[in-house]
Amino acid sequence: MPSYRIVPESRPSNRTGYVVLTFLLTLAGCSGPEGQWVGPVTPVAAECGAPTTGLMSVGRRTFAFDPFGGTDVIHGKLDKTGHLRGDAVRTVAGRDTARMEFAARLQRQSDGKEQILGMINSARCRWSVALRRE
């Protein structure tokens, strides 16, 4: 009579499954907006200064956006539909306040890549924003 040996079933660990799922979601473009984004911040009117390069860090539901490469940072929230809204308020001349508001949307482009497109508005100026993953 032949002898048989019972071998325990071999299954991948949960970690392996997570890595494979993350890889597949990344290939499908479903990795989420978290990470670094960079791109042009362009004034709508010439009197609002020169174009700059903005840098945004996006977390799970929040972001910090440095549009001018300086000390003004816009903090805000990202909703489940891909809309970003935030603002920055600072004191000017010791008593007045200046406010910048940012509104944008995460959009998939025709080439399949994502972009954050939006506008920054202040009392005197407007800037268009087009960010891509860094």
DSSP letters for the chain: -------PPP---HHHHHHHHHHHHHHTT-S-S-EEEEEEEEESSGGG---EEEEEEE-SSEEEEESSSSS--EEEEE-TTSEEEEEEEEEETTTEEEEEEEEEEEEE-TTS-EEEEEEEE-SS-EEEEEEEE-
Per-residue pLDDT reduced to its tens digit, 34-75: 999 999 999 999 899 999 999 999 999 999 999 999 878 999
Instruction: Decide: pTM greater than 0.75.
Output: no
Which CATH number among 2.20.130, 3.40.1710, 1.20.120, 2.40.128 corresponds to the domain 33-133? 2.40.128
Amino acid identity, residue 57? Answer: S
